[in-house]
Structure 1
Amino acid sequence: MKYVYAFLALLTLAVSTLSHATLLRITPASVDAAAWIILDPQTGQIIAEYDSHVRRAPASITKVMVAHIVLQKIQQGQIGTDDWVTVPKAIEQVQWDESQMHLEIGAQIQIKDLLTGLLVMSANDAAITLAEHVAGSVPAFVALMNEEAKRLGMQNTHFVNTPGITHPDHYSTAYDLALLSQAVVNQQPELLNYSRLQHFRYNERFYRATNILLKKDASIDGLKTGFTQVAKYNLALTAKRPIYDELKLEKLDDRRLIVVVLGAPNAMKRAEVSHKLLELAYRFTRNEEVIKPNQVLAHLPVLNANLESFQLLNKESQKVTTSLYPNTDDWIDLNQFDLQSKNLTRQNMLGEFEVIEPLATTNTKVDVEFTQKELIAPLMTAIQFATVSVYQNNHLIRTISIQQDVEIKEASFFQKIGLWFKSIFQMITGKQPTLTTFPISDSQ
């Protein structure tokens, strides 16, 4: 006899996260910019920040959102990178002194060339042409930009135009732009194929990338510069580097970081500050695995179904970003960090400068609280099973909420009779099913 009950699938394991305390305390006065943030896109944790929620003019970093939406449409199959686009009359609004590809109204150009011009040399005419092609008009495309900003949680962002032209109602924050950058590198890494280019040629014109750090650091592959007289010099920067186990001399993984700097006084200072923040974060933080892939977290009893227990399985590795700075209460002077040697120095009690070495181990603790003790069939919904809290030096640095889609059918009438007798026997013998949890090791 076939069971009516069926445990159909563990459909998905969704993990939502919250970041808490920043990991590095960098003295704001030592960073020559109005606002900035360092974000780890693998964990969503903020490594360091200053005034990252203050609204400022994003300038041409706006174009990251333009590219993000265009690439979404490509992923959805609505358009293709090789599609030909007719340059619209709307590009007439681009002024002679604005960055542009010098497109001609009515000319034909492929989407991949527009994306290249948009991201490499910040072409305003490319932004307008893409917007008109995707949404039918610039205002309609701007509406898509604001909808996507809301979906990404960019609560202090509002767009008015696609190039990033200064307007009182066109604003964002370092934090929001870091969220956008995180969405791009995690969901649309193909954008980096454009933003990593140091130059390109179109229609017999040669263009150089506005991001000068692409020439200085091979690990840097994006994302976008920005400048207006109001915004000053902005940069959304990202890099990916292989991480090695120095003791075992083997590669562990690739690690990506994001830095957003807003309001630097000039292009050279923008590059220097961004690069220093990036290097400092790589040297004094790391990612540690707190839950291994395919690790069983618990067995939950299932009632009203022909399955005694439900196995809660973590499918993907869950990591936490930890600080390797020796004293988390100390403030770091970015001026004391040398880009060449990657050494950070500080003055000791004798007035001598000493090099600060990153820690080899971290003091982290993992606590797991299960919000579900049992399951009752029928079920066909997403359930939050547990909250994982990670502490470093007794400071909460990350919270991971583990959710899973569950589909369980109810037992038949005759199966319920059998289950009733089974429950009576379990009560008599004292062997009733209970929640069984499996330990998660603390990081070292």
Structure 2
Amino acid sequence: MKHVIYLIAALSFLCATIANAALLNIVPETVEAEAWTVLDPQSGQVIAEHNSHVQRAPASLTKMMVAYIALKEIKAGHLRKDEILTATPIVELVQWDESQMYLKQGEQISVDHLLAGLVVMSANDAAVTLAERISGDIPRFVERMNKEAKALGMNDTHFQNPAGITMPEHYSTAADLARLGRVLVTETPDYLYYSKQQSFSYNQHFHRATNILLKQDPTVDGLKTGFTKAAGHNLALTANRMIANPNAPERRLIVVVLGSKSGLKRAEVAHRLMNLAYTYTRNEVAIKDRQLIAELPVIKSTLKMFKVETQQPKLITTSLYDQAYAIDLQAFDQAQQRIMLNTGNGQIQAIEPLRETQTQLNVEMNEKQLTAPLAKVMKLATVTVYQNNQLINSFDIEDDVQIEEANIFERFLLWIKSLFSIFSSESSELKIYPLDQ
């Protein structure tokens, strides 16, 4: 790995923003789905995508939002997993042909069982029961769903019901659902306890998880399946794998596939996309933990220079595929975990992932000095990351700056000291340190 740094800015806390270009160019016609995306939740970068912002019926992938809200309520102390709820007449509205736990009015059930029914069984009666408990009624819960979607930046999503039933104004996108999957695994990781269950039984009703990859691949632990005639077969998939990287020994990926022709096909496509991404991309440390980046001069304070250093490492995702040819997904051999390609000599050969990558980090400074008093979060810079002259990531650099203003006596002493500064070797100019890798 080799990083080239062109302009360095002061930073203390790294705040990820919008990831940019996809890393792997996959021929859309070789992927048997209407829309799809592959996301690295650690870096926030899109690895590959097609029609990922096209609005489609999400079907039961809708229930990921229901679970997210319920788990947020549990985290906030407004709901408990062991809380016992009594099923209301709302469960009688669930039709016979809908996925359900077969709850009856007056029946008592725990929130924990409802979450398992929601995620594993994809039970619509579990969805409406949780919705009614959290918000009082379904319309207010749907309003909450849309509020949460907006807060997460799911700008191409609108919900009309908590179950995922097809309705004219009920839609989402592969990109938005991947974004939701990212917050599920990072903010409410308890979701994975339910999504990795291969089966669930309730009141003598047995249901085997329709995410067949849970049984085929031990690294897979979620996220959700969905199907309606309007949507086709949908799958939000995630896996967490051990990798040979001492800085980040585990790596999670998220794949969303919408509009496949069958349950088997959605699993095959999602798994192939995921394995391809694991093989031909990797995470690298762009900026190290506790790394001193710069010192900013401070005016009107006894603090002369504001030391700026990272509070956590910043990961970026890079491509390990260097061929000029776009990727035919069908040419990815699942057994060898390699793309098999005719590179021009008439022979099919396995394309090995790169061992070394080169990236360029450009940092645009927003501040050259700080003036006391300060007590606010400041956006100090924006970092853009390029690989092979392609923009692959960008993130804002923020810091919670707390600097007190010097009193009158201290300012007088600072003024006296400044008169003699011309004889001093001390510098009060911006100091920038190289980010050696």
SS of the residue corresponding to residue 311 of structure 1 reads strand
* Structure 1 residue 273 corresponds to structure 2 residue 269: yes
CA contact (8 A) 2:382 2:397 kept: yes
Q: Whole-Å Cα distance in 2 between the matches of residues 421 and 396 of structure 1? A: 49
Alignment of 1:145-184 (within 5 A): 145-184=145-184
Alignment of 1:31-430 (within 5 A): 31-245=31-245, 252-327=248-323, 329-427=324-422, 429=424
- Over the residues paired in the alignment, what is the CA RMSD in angstroms? 1.5
How far apart are 1:251 and its partner, in Å? 8.4
Q: Whole-Å Cα distance in 2 between the matches of residues 418 and 271 of structure 1? A: 71
Alignment of 1:426-441 (within 5 A): 426-427=421-422, 429=424, 431-441=426-436
CA contact (8 A) 2:16 2:44 kept: no
How far apart are 1:238 and its partner, in Å? 0.5
CA contact (8 A) 1:244 1:251 kept: no
How far apart are 1:284 and its partner, in Å? 0.2
Q: Whole-Å Cα distance in 1 between the matches of residues 333 and 264 of structure 2? A: 16
Q: Whole-Å Cα distance in 2 between the matches of residues 164 and 399 of structure 1? A: 34
1:32-73: CA deviations, max 9, x gaps?
A: 000000000001100000000000000000000000000000
How far apart are 1:367 and its partner, in Å? 2.5
SS of the residue corresponding to residue 271 of structure 1 reads helix
Structure 1's 432 and 440: CA in aligned 2 closer, same or farther, altered over 3 A? closer
Moved over 3 A (4+): 427-432
Q: Whole-Å Cα distance in 1 between the matches of residues 64 and 426 of structure 2? A: 59
Letter in 1 for 2:399: Q
Aligned-pair identity in percent equals 50
Can you give the 5+ residue segments of structure 2 that lack an aligned partner in the other structure?
1-11
SS of the residue corresponding to residue 57 of structure 1 reads coil
TM-score (norm 2): 0.95
User: 427-436 or 368-377, which moves further after superposition?
Assistant: 427-436
How far apart are 1:143 and its partner, in Å? 0.5
CA contact (8 A) 2:115 2:126 kept: yes
Q: Whole-Å Cα distance in 2 between the matches of residues 240 and 441 of structure 1? A: 30
How far apart are 1:366 and its partner, in Å? 2.0
How far apart are 1:430 and its partner, in Å? 7.0
Q: Whole-Å Cα distance in 1 between the matches of residues 157 and 103 of structure 2? A: 29
How many residues of Structure 1 are paired with residues of Structure 2 in the alignment? Answer: 427
CA contact (8 A) 1:81 1:111 kept: yes
Residue in 2 that maps onto 1:3: none
CA contact (8 A) 1:289 1:320 kept: yes
User: 34-43 or 332-341, which moves further after superposition?
Assistant: 332-341
Residue in 2 that maps onto 1:4: none
CA contact (8 A) 1:366 1:441 kept: no
Residue in 1 that maps onto 2:8: none
Letter in 1 for 2:281: T
Q: Whole-Å Cα distance in 2 between the matches of residues 171 and 32 of structure 1? A: 21
CA contact (8 A) 1:423 1:432 kept: no
User: 395-404 or 343-352, which moves further after superposition?
Assistant: 343-352
Q: Whole-Å Cα distance in 1 between the matches of residues 306 and 343 of structure 2? A: 57
Which of 1 and 2 has higher RCO (CA within 8 Å, sep 6+)? 2
Structure 1's 425 and 432: CA in aligned 2 closer, same or farther, altered over 3 A? farther
